[in-house]
Amino acid sequence: MNPDVFIELTLILIITVITTGIVRALKQPAVIGYIVSGILAGPLLFDVIDSADTLGAFSHIGVAMLLFFVGLNMNPQVIKDVGKVSLFTGIGQVVFTSGIGYLIARALGFDVLTSVYLAIALAFSSTIIIMKLLSDRKDLESMYGRISIGFLIVQDFIAIFTLLVISSLSSEMELTSIALQTIVKGTAGVVILLVLAKYILPPVMKLIAKSQEFLLLFSITWCFSIASLFHQLNFSIEAGALLAGMALSMSPYHIEISSKMKPLRDFFLVLFFIMLGSQMVFSNILDSIWLIIALSLFVLIGNPIIVMTLMGIMGYTKRNGFFSGLTVAQISEFSFILISAGVVAGHVSQEVLSIVTAVGLITFAGSTYLILYADRVYSFLAPYLSIFEKKGEKVDEVHAGQLKKHDIILFGYNRIGFDVLQSMKKIKKKFLIVEYDPDVIEQLKAEGIPCVYGDANDSELLDKLDLEEAKMVVSTIPNVDTNLLIAAKLRAVNEKSILAVVSHQIDEAIRLYEEGASYVIMPHFLGGRHFSTMIENHGLNMKKFLKEKVEHIEHIKEKKQMGHEHPKH
């Protein structure tokens, strides 16, 4: 290897580590740090990138591996589970965003082809960033979280088709010829992959999976081979890599492959975003600053409005519509890839790539803060969002049981909530469970257990609950802000009710006690305390410990059947 390239890469990585560290301290996605690092390492400041061809090759490998990874985690069968609302919202949002985006681009002076590219780039949202933010908020299992993931998956499928079409475009070919060849070659390639995935790969993978190292080697080879094959069919390498991942997504080993390849993917992907940042042309960006602001505002505000409108039409509450809408308030990694493909094909200029990159930086940062502080933003905007709500009963306000006159209200039917429910049944008090996982609500309804769908962060829901008459309120949600809200609402109308909440942090537990909690459940400490009590009660009596063992095994097996292996909150 050329020592100069090695030293160059070292300097770039040092810049990236420092920049990304600052970005993460600001609670922003790491991808912003990578792009900013590219800007700093490029001609604007340090100008350390001399081996652009070598680093560019690495960055293309990163894109291919990203799309392979996306395909690997996108089993086609999942489309059956996303539901009508995700399908309707996903397609509707892409159609409306593309249409409005095209009109905006044309109004801003872009030609037809460039406007089409910009419209497509604005239509897709980042599945990777949203999954991370929903995970940070512990909202993956919520109704809006599931709907959002569903329509992001629909977006990804649309993006795949779009990428296939764009990667086969040639300026010398007529549109009819392009469409015909794309459909024929694309369909043939996909059919061959499906046949391989169903009949050939399973027995081969079973043999290969006996060795972890061989499984990793095979997965990389498969990715590169299929990507190269599709390149020979005049599609892009990236499109082939994505389809290669989808072929392996039906394998029982796809999760293992994902975990093995993730570090490799992340490293090469870092170089892609660095190179993307280094290619930004700032003279063009300064000339286009108002254009960039206009496109960014459309993504940050227009996209959520489109989703809220579509979900309102389908009868969802303004709250779920608002939270779902925020998840499309940024552009996607696909947007950069599609525009880059357009630059390579000669359809759009480097200036357009710089503009889209700038829009990406603004929308990544803006949407991250909007999602992280969504509860506060919603509280402020709620009175003005009723226009996005149909009158009458909402599809996400299905109540099982009455909201009034309950002795005990339990927020969250997770691992702790399951045990609390058993005790509530024994003391024969009237109780109500508030849960935001639709599947859990259906399960509780089937068992005849009083429950209501709702989010404990929803101030309006808390106002509807009969907190004045509750003798006990229990929250199994280990989020201090949620529990502080419940405490404030409860203590404002009821000083005598027992309030039990969950916390994993000592400082937070003390604060919850100060704000009116009667008892703070701290699971990490309760286990040790329970075992110490067993020692005091049983001494060194083996028979008594074996009895505890049998009871514990029965208990955890029941928990496993309930799907409580991992906390949902």
Q: Looking at 327-403, list the stretches that DSSP marks H as alpha helix, in order from N- to C-terminal side.
A: 333-345, 350-372, 374-381
Residue 569 reports pLDDT greater than 50: no
SS3 28: coil
Residue 329's pLDDT is 92
Distance from C-alpha of 126 to C-alpha of 159, rounded to nearest angstrom = 11
Q: Domain with 64 in it: what CATH number? A: 1.20.1530.20
| Per-residue CA distances from 420 to 53, 186, 260, 308 (Å) | 61, 54, 39, 36
CA distance 227 to 239: 7
Q: Are residues 548 and 420 in the same domain?
A: yes
Residue 371 sits in the same domain as residue 481: no
Residue 449's CATH number: 3.40.50.720
* Joined tokens for residue 248: 């392996």
Is 182 part of a structural domain of the chain?
Answer: yes
Would you place residue 322 in the very low, low, confident or very high pLDDT band (cuts 50, 70, 90)?
very high
Q: What is the mean pLDDT of the chain?
A: 81
Asked, for residue 248, whether it belongs to a domain, the answer is yes
pLDDT digits (tens, 9 = 90+) for 45-85: 788 888 777 777 887 788 788 778 777 766 555 555 556 78
Asked if residue 562 has pLDDT above 80, the reply is no
- Which range among 8-22, 26-40, 249-263 shows the weakest confidence by mean pLDDT? 249-263
> Above 90 in pLDDT, residue 254?
no
Show which of 365, 387, 409 is a domain's final residue: 387
3-state secondary structure of 152: helix
**Within a domain: residue 568?**
no
pLDDT given at position 563: 61
258 and 207 within one domain: yes
Do strands 451-453 and 498-502 pair parallel, antiparallel, or not at all (unpaired)? unpaired
Verify that 420 and 347 share a domain, yes or no: no
pLDDT of residue 269: 78
Co-location of 323 and 445 in the same domain = no
- Decide: residue 479, CB within 10 A, 0-12 exposed, 13-18 middle, 19+ buried: buried
Choice among 76-80, 354-358, 473-477 with the minimum mean pLDDT: 76-80
pLDDT in tens, 434-444: 888 777 887 88
- Asked if pLDDT for residue 305 goes beyond 90, the answer is yes
pLDDT of 2 reads 60
**Encoding tokens for residue 23?**
């970005």
pLDDT at 522 over 60: yes
Euclidean distance between CA atoms 17 and 37, whole angstroms: 9
Amino acid at 567: P
Q: Which residue has the higher pLDDT, 420 or 330?
A: 330
Last residue of a domain, one of 354, 387, 420: 387
Cα–Cα nearest to 364, from 41, 34, 16: 34
> Residue 302: which pLDDT band, with cuts at 50, 70 and 90?
very high
Looking at the fold, whether 369 and 487 belong to one and the same domain comes out as no
pLDDT at position 372 = 83
Are residue 461 and residue 555 in the same domain, yes or no?
Answer: yes
Question: Rounded CA gap, 248 and 75, in Å?
Answer: 9
- In percent, the amount of the chain with pLDDT more than 70 equals 87
In a domain, 531, yes or no: yes
Interval 270-280 mean pLDDT: 80
Same domain, 377 and 417: no
Same domain, 350 and 466: no
- pLDDT of amino acid 185: 67
- Say whether both 418 and 305 belong to one domain: no
Residue 100, CA atoms < 13 Å, CB-side half-sphere:
18
The residue out of 362, 387, 412 marking a domain boundary is 387
Q: Which residue pairs, CB below 8 angstroms and at least 24 apart, start in 379-384?
A: 379/459, 381/322, 382/318, 382/319, 382/460
Ramachandran angles phi, psi of 199, nearest 5°: -110, -30
Question: Residues 53-92, buried b or exposed e (16+ Cβ, 10 A)?
Answer: ebbbebbbbbbbbbbbbbbbbbbeeeeeebeebbebbbbb
pLDDT, mean of residues 197-207: 81
The string of DSSP letters for 502-565 reads E-S-HHHHHHHHHTT-SEEE-HHHHHHHHHHHHHHHHTT-HHHHHHHHHHHHHHHHHHHHTT-S
What pLDDT does residue 200 have?
83
Q: How many domains does the chain have?
A: 2
Give CA–CA dist 190/546, Å, rounded: 57
The reported pLDDT for the residue numbered 97 is 92
pLDDT value at 274 more than 70: yes
Say if residue 458's pLDDT is above 70. yes
Domain-embedded: residue 330: yes
pLDDT value at residue 171: 44
Most confident of 94-108, 264-278, 329-343, 535-549: 94-108
Q: Average of pLDDT values for 275-295?
A: 78
Could you give the residue ranges of the DSSP H alpha helices within 26-126? 30-41, 52-72, 83-107, 112-123
Amino acid code (one letter) for 376: R
552 pLDDT above the threshold of 90: no
Confirm whether 440 is domain-assigned: yes
Q: Tens of pLDDT along 479-497?
A: 888 899 999 999 898 888 8
Among residues 124, 121, 131, the alpha carbon closest in space to that of 358 is found at 121
pLDDT of residue 392: 67
Which pairs with CB-CB distance under 8 Å and at least 24 residues apart come from 416-421? 416/476, 416/502, 416/521, 416/523, 417/474, 417/476, 418/559, 418/562, 418/564, 420/474, 420/476, 421/449
394 in any annotated domain: no
Range ranked top by mean pLDDT from 96-105, 225-234, 526-535: 96-105
370-425: pLDDT as tens digits: 888 888 888 888 888 888 887 766 666 644 445 667 888 889 887 677 777 777 77
- 160 and 71 together in one domain: yes
**Would you state the pLDDT for residue 400?**
41
63: three-class secondary structure by DSSP: helix
CA angle 442, 444, 448 (to 5 degrees): 115
Pairing of strands 472-475, 408-411: parallel
* 445 and 504 assigned to the same domain: yes
Q: Is 393 part of any domain? A: no
Give the domain range for residue 479: 399-561
User: Cα(230)–Cα(192) distance, rounded to whole angstroms?
Assistant: 12
Burial class (CB in 10 A: 0-12, 13-18, 19+), 276: buried
Other beta carbons less than 10 A from residue 558's beta carbon: 12
Question: pLDDT category, 172, cuts 50, 70, 90?
Answer: very low
